Structure 1
């Protein structure tokens, strides 16, 4: 009798008015703890996780090329190697063009930058709020001490270590990308083998939908980034701004970071124009950047990315902030596609659930027998 009473009292604690919310809160806390453990493990294994995620994103973007070659009779191995080497060749060509542009125009840029800094210093000493030579000298000494401090040297050591890790991650990512292009669906099907047949079919549909969303996001972002880089780069060439091609490529790469990437790249282009060509040219560059951003926000993004990136701008901002806090620049680059794929997977999982299918079937009108 005592055991039964205690059991009844214990059951009553979880079945009264506070019991159900408490149970739900405990479930949420367990899920949050599990998510925190997963994030912590991913941060500890970032040398493995980051190349894997980048390889998955690139594989989703390049998979249509491999499928196209296979449909036209190419052997799978040859189609994979052709796609991979073609992408690497295009990347190498871009790097060579940027390097040649820097080599040719870097001396001019240094000279113009020095002249611009001299003018800025003269404006600071003779402008409406004059600054004395002693204050400028103190600022120079503070900057020199900051650049030669132990923290900067330690940062240089960490930077060298990060460079070595980046090279290792690059080779790992290339290997993973090759196998994903060649046997991506086979690998995913193998991972789903322990699941029940119905659940496995749902997971396969979710995987297909996620690949479509991810590939569409990368290709759509690349189209928008190319348009931004083309018009801004064309304006820089017409205005005679040095390093127009590298700056256009920076704009192209910056567009892959939503909301802020293209803006920061445009600010860099405007600063180069200000230092080398003066304030009038810089203002023209700023006007071009604003016009291109308006074109992107009002026309290109809704048309190209509207159905692919079904995320509210607030969700994009939150995902971008979380990714930047957790993994810095790489997190900012990967946060939005991961959020888009996660949301697409959740919607597909709900849409393929038996209860949802029953509700949809009951909501459909009966066929017209007349």
Structure 2
């Protein structure tokens, strides 16, 4: 007669028990990940400033290292980099904000008129959509914006402003210490690990910083080129509000996939009203051409293999970030996903042969 121990172990080692064990492991990992995500969303006032500080520190770290190699004191190099980087960022935001502040009402008015033009085309054109259907869709959107949830969220604006100021100061303090003692802090956190694991974790950290800094610097370069190219095109076509529209393109480039589409749609709407349908089509073609140039030539050259993610992974990360943290989540989701994937690959690449993850190379796409 079989013992209870043998019977129980047999249940988990037979043909059905092995996949059941794996499923239980997967469910346990998913539950752990869900708890972590829930905790991070509840601590957004702490997490978001720290994440932004990490991204900025990764982008500015090469400047600090350069100054230290040339004989600057660590504290002086940190302060010079911090003040210089924040001054440059503040100058860019001030220029963009000034253009939006001066032309915001005009830009909104022109975009609204462009939407009216599209509405007339939809109702009077070949799409055969009745005005009643459009009015129903508009009323649904209006009800969503004026619902009790939206109004109660608007009433929390003062609290959100206080939290934003607190997060700003927290982020600045964290950024300063990351620039000054980032490697020392990371090494201290790895102290409990054994020596081989600690060395691998150090290499993973260095690779993550390279990917994060390269992503931010590369995105800024790509955004600048996109804004200049589209701005010159709008200027040649004779579209008004060139500077605000170019600034919109620059900001939209930091949101992968959808940012460029929304900025191009806004430029096309303004052109439709001010210069007519033909000019609007030219602007659409210009935006598509610049985006194709960016995706096929500029981004691979500038960013290299920093963002080695499939577009579907980018889309899923973007969607998840937006759901969890709104606009800030949309800005942070893709670099976090890129760093996570790079860290996983680095950990696997530096692992002993017996510990490496089992990976397969996907077949190449058909030409």
Alignment-derived partner of residue 365 in structure 2: none
Alignment-derived partner of residue 206 in structure 1: 204
| Equivalent in 223, 228, 231 of residue 229 of structure 2 | 231
Q: Measure, in 2, the Cα distance between the counterparts of 1:156 and 1:197.
A: 52
Structure 1 residue 90 and structure 2 residue 94: aligned?
no
Alignment-derived partner of residue 342 in structure 2: 344
Alignment-derived partner of residue 60 in structure 1: 58
Aligned-residue Cα RMSD (Å) equals 3.5
Distance 1:358 1:33, change over 3 A: closer
1:14-65 residue CA offsets vs partner (Å, 9 max, x unmatched): 2222222222221111111111110110011111111111111111111111
| Equivalent in 160, 164, 172 of residue 162 of structure 2 | 164
Alignment-derived partner of residue 368 in structure 1: none
Structure 1 residue 49 and structure 2 residue 53: aligned?
no
Matched-pair contact (CA < 8 Å) for 1:214–1:337:
yes
Larger Rg: 1
Offset, 1:4 = 7.9
Alignment-derived partner of residue 271 in structure 1: 269
Distance 1:279 1:352, change over 3 A: same
Offset, 1:305 = 3.0
> Where in structure 1 are there 5+ consecutive unaligned residues?
360-370
Alignment-derived partner of residue 99 in structure 2: 101
Offset, 1:166 = 2.0
Q: Measure, in 2, the Cα distance between the counterparts of 1:215 and 1:98.
A: 23
Alignment-derived partner of residue 11 in structure 1: 9
Distance 1:111 1:173, change over 3 A: closer
| Equivalent in 254, 257, 261 of residue 256 of structure 1 | 254
Higher deviation after alignment, 282-291 or 269-278: 269-278
Alignment-derived partner of residue 28 in structure 2: 30
Alignment-derived partner of residue 20 in structure 1: 18
TM-score computed with the length of structure 2 as normaliser:
0.84
Distance 1:161 1:228, change over 3 A: same
Distance 1:110 1:312, change over 3 A: closer
1:67-101 residue CA offsets vs partner (Å, 9 max, x unmatched): 11111111111111111111221122223323433
Offset, 1:108 = 5.5
1:193 alignment partner, SS class: coil
Q: Measure, in 2, the Cα distance between the counterparts of 1:20 and 1:222.
A: 49
Offset, 1:320 = 1.6
Q: Measure, in 2, the Cα distance between the counterparts of 1:178 and 1:297.
A: 34
Q: Measure, in 2, the Cα distance between the counterparts of 1:263 and 1:126.
A: 26
Alignment-derived partner of residue 367 in structure 1: none
Distance 1:134 1:332, change over 3 A: closer
> Where in structure 2 are there 5+ consecutive unaligned residues?
358-367
| Equivalent in 193, 196, 200 of residue 194 of structure 2 | 196
| Equivalent in 306, 312, 335 of residue 314 of structure 1 | 312
Structure 1 residue 291 and structure 2 residue 268: aligned?
no
Distance 1:140 1:313, change over 3 A: closer
| Equivalent in 296, 320, 323 of residue 321 of structure 2 | 323
Higher deviation after alignment, 311-320 or 97-106: 97-106
